[in-house]
Amino acid sequence: MCGILGVVGEPGALDTILDGLKRLEYRGYDSAGVALLDGGALLRVRTADGTRSVDALRDACAGLNRSATVGIGHTRWATHGGVSVANAHPHVDCGDGLAVIHNGIIENHDLLRADLVAKGHVFTSSTDTEVMVHLLEDELKCDGDLRAAMARMLPQLRGAFAVAAVSAAHPDRIVAARRVSPLVVGMTDTVAYLGSDVPALMGRVDSVLAVDEDCVVELTPGHAVVTDVHGVVVDAPVVSIDFDVEVADLGRYADFMTKEIDEQPAAVADTVAERLENLFDQPLDADVVAAIDKIVLVGCGSSYHAAMVGRVALESWAKIPAEIDIASEFRYRDAILSPTTLVIGVSQSGETIDTLEAMKHARRKGATVVAVSNIPGASMTREANASLLTKAGLEVSVASTKTVLAQVVVLQLLAISLGEARGVLDAAAATALRADLQTLPAALRIAVDDVAPMKDVANALATASSWFFLGRGSGLPVALEGALKLKEISYARAEGCPAGELKHGPIALIEPGVVVVAIVLPGPSAEKMYSNIAEVKARGATLVIVAPHDDHVVEGLGDFVVRTVPSGDAAAPLLAMVPLQHLAYAVARARGLEVDRPRNLAKTVTVE
Ligand code: G6P
């Protein structure tokens, strides 16, 4: 979703901002813009060319001189007001001397706008953001101090925001603030940078300051001062960034999804190695761990599916009752939480607002909260009592792949450790489970390289418009994830369904032309799956069966049978996810679609 990049004190700030916005494209956006301070003048350029907007912005800026050292840039994902140049950020005040960019939603924008219009302000967009630039314009009349004006504006706003402003009257600075939405600051000796998340500043700085909620940060060349709404200087925690910039580059791959699927063995190997060394990045006290009597996992999208797989391990190996919630729903039930409840927020970005808010809610209710994230220093890691970071490297493609697998192995490693700590998993069993996870990368390599079977399926079925993915037990999250991948990038109607629920409704939709993808995992659920496969076959569905290499029962049942790589039970769902990634990718490509930035979707979802 929306991205922010600000630069103070760098010759050629415009190019730094354009490069940074290019890097932020992966979050998902539809328009872009930049405001520069140059020789006492404010210069603004905006474009609204969908996912080409940053390239269009670069073209539109081609003739500009590069002397400005201060500027702010933005990628917008439309919420209030359609995709248009008028609605693109930055927005400017009535005097064209002040510019504002914003991530998040101002919930009381209607009331604020009515007041401002009554005072004579002229609005030029339909956005909620524009109220802020006019509010700042009014507040600046008080004392001309941009930082103080920002501080006076904050209590007037309801909702979530990361906001940054530049003013022609203050040519050497950016002033910014946040509530809920993330905002980070990085510095070198001579330059200060502002970003909407840690990856925005990757490659420019090796640590960031995390700005607290309802605080104002003033950036000048090489400096940043964080103050509260009363102007009192506050400390901002410093978080180091240890990402390798190379990981964000496409290299020899056609697109990021192909690259990230291919990186899965390494993502799992690196995560297992790191987390075997040290389970937590920020540890939990041993007595807190020993007292845990209930676990609640929360997440969204693919992270929710990873949490579903992890839940099985937590119950089986640690013998702790584990619940799971869609993060956006968690706050709407009165979950029974206490200090002995462990709430685990699972999120590759560590910024998804629904998961972040669920974690905050859990902390307010006294639970112990852990973040599973791929981004060091992400908001969730700061909100949690402890963090378990995955080591998958930056994931750029909107459809998650390598981070999902890394999340599962982290949850499995947590389950093993909790089982040992509680004395319910003996040392030999724990060692065997850890050894399985260490051999997983080699099995994943085989699965990842085995592209051809699903390519054949995709070429035969690319035009099918209705798909069902069926699974049982650990096969259910695999089925749900397979359906999500397909709908995200190929736009086919795809539904993931517990195979046992088929007969309670979905089977009414099964008819010739419908594709059913059945996930058969080894174990007791397999026999029940055969029955469900027979039921849909009898109704004329085209059947794609994903099954273990030695499952001979399925041979005569499917139109297509795709084999999974042999493994232990814990690894089986992970290995079964890979062919479904191949399927989604191949269907999307056969339909001529670009996979990395599917329509309407965003990588980092910062609105509720
Ligand atoms: C978006 C992405 C999904 C992702 C979900 C949760 O919808 O498109 O790929 O699974 O957000 O994101 P998170 O960063 O919390 O894992």
Q: For 270-279, how does the pLDDT look when each residue is reduced to its tens digit (9 = 90+)? A: 999 999 888 8
Q: Residue 132 and residue 181: Cα distance in Å, rounded?
A: 15
Tokens of 281: 């990045």
Residue in 488, 454, 448, 392 with CA at minimum distance from that of residue 578: 448
Q: Residue 215 and residue 219: Cα distance in Å, rounded?
A: 13
Mean pLDDT across the stretch 109-119? 97
Mean pLDDT across the stretch 17-33? 90
- 55-72 as b/e: b if 16+ CB within 10 A: bbbbebbeeeeeebbbbb
Q: How confident is the model at residue 245 (pLDDT cuts 50, 70, 90)?
A: low
Pocket test for ligand 1, best of 260, 400, 599 (most atoms within 8 A of CB): 400
Residue in 53, 55, 60 with CA at minimum distance from that of residue 28: 53
User: Tokens 């069966």 map to which residue?
Assistant: 545
Whether the CB-CB separation of 447 and 488 falls below 8 Å is answered with: no
- Answer yes or no: is the C-beta of 348 below 6 A from any ligand 1 atom: yes
Whether the CB-CB separation of 331 and 357 falls below 8 Å is answered with: yes
How many residues belong to the chain? 608
Residue ID of nearest Cα to ligand 1 atom 13? 347
Whether the CB-CB separation of 456 and 438 falls below 8 Å is answered with: no
Q: For 202-217, how does the pLDDT look when each residue is reduced to its tens digit (9 = 90+)? A: 888 988 998 989 999 9
What does the DSSP assignment read for 10-64? -TTHHHHHHHHHHHHGGG--SEEEEEEEETTEEEEEEE--GGGHHHHHHHHTTTS
Name, in order, each residue with C-beta under 8 angstroms of 454's C-beta and a sequence gap of 6 or more. 562, 579, 580, 582, 583, 586
For residue 106, pLDDT beyond 70: yes
For residue 227, the cross-strand partners are: 216, 233
Residue in 412, 447, 448 with CA at minimum distance from that of residue 432: 412
**Between 264-277 and 402-421, two packed helices, what is the crossing angle to 10 degrees?**
30
- Answer yes or no: is the C-beta of 349 below 6 A from any ligand 1 atom: yes
- Answer yes or no: is the C-beta of 400 below 6 A from any ligand 1 atom: yes
- Answer yes or no: is the C-beta of 397 below 6 A from any ligand 1 atom: no
pLDDT at 246: 55
Q: How confident is the model at residue 178 (pLDDT cuts 50, 70, 90)?
A: very high
When the pLDDT of each residue in the chain is averaged and rounded to a whole number, the result is: 94
For residue 248, pLDDT beyond 70: no
pLDDT at 243: 65
What does the DSSP assignment read for 219-233? EETTEEEEE-TTS-B
Domain 452-590 of CATH type 3.40.50.300:
no
For residue 268, pLDDT beyond 80: yes
* CA angle at 328 for the pair 325 and 331, rounded to the nearest 5°: 75
Query: What kind of fold does domain 256-448 have according to CATH?
Result: Rossmann fold (3.40.50)
Q: What is the DSSP letter of 254?
A: S
Q: How confident is the model at residue 63 (pLDDT cuts 50, 70, 90)?
A: confident
Residue ID of nearest Cα to ligand 1 atom 3? 301
Cα(357) to ligand 1 centroid in Å equals 15
Cα(105) to ligand 1 centroid in Å equals 19
Nearest atom within ligand 1 for CA of residue 398: 8
Residue ID of nearest Cα to ligand 1 atom 7? 301
Pocket test for ligand 1, best of 256, 330, 347 (most atoms within 8 A of CB): 347
Class of domain 3-241: alpha beta
pLDDT at 102: 96
Tokens of 526: 């397999």
Q: Same CATH fold, 452-590 and 256-448?
A: yes
Cα(380) to ligand 1 centroid in Å equals 14
Which CA distances in Å does 42 have to 34, 165, 208, 239?
10, 11, 28, 33
Cα(506) to ligand 1 centroid in Å equals 26
Q: For 284-306, how does the pLDDT look when each residue is reduced to its tens digit (9 = 90+)? A: 888 888 899 999 999 999 999 99
Nearest atom within ligand 1 for CA of residue 352: 15
Q: Residue 206 and residue 476: Cα distance in Å, rounded?
A: 40
pLDDT at 395: 93
pLDDT at 14: 96
For residue 282, pLDDT beyond 90: no
Residue in 93, 86, 156, 164 with CA at minimum distance from that of residue 126: 86
What's the half-sphere exposure (Cβ side, CA atoms, 13 Å) at 308?
21
- Answer yes or no: is the C-beta of 27 below 6 A from any ligand 1 atom: no
pLDDT at 180: 85
Bond before 376 cis per omega within 30 degrees? no
Pocket test for ligand 1, best of 603, 606, 608 (most atoms within 8 A of CB): 603
Residue ID of nearest Cα to ligand 1 atom 15? 347
Residue 262 has a CB neighbour count (10 Å cut-off) of: 18
Residue ID of nearest Cα to ligand 1 atom 14? 349
Q: Which helix (H) or strand (E) holds 133?
A: helix 130-143
Provide the CA 162 distance to its chain's centre, in angstroms.
17
pLDDT at 285: 86
**Which of the residues are catalytic?**
2, 603
Mean pLDDT across the stretch 400-404? 98
Whether the CB-CB separation of 603 and 398 falls below 8 Å is answered with: yes
Which CA distances in Å does 513 have to 20, 438, 466, 541?
45, 42, 8, 6
For residue 35, the cross-strand partners are: 44, 72
Q: How confident is the model at residue 251 (pLDDT cuts 50, 70, 90)?
A: confident
Mean pLDDT across the stretch 66-95? 95
Amino acid at 26: Y
For residue 342, pLDDT beyond 90: yes
Nearest atom within ligand 1 for CA of residue 407: 16
All structural domains of the chain with their residue ranges:
3-241, 256-448, 452-590
Tokens of 127: 């956005």
Cα(352) to ligand 1 centroid in Å equals 7
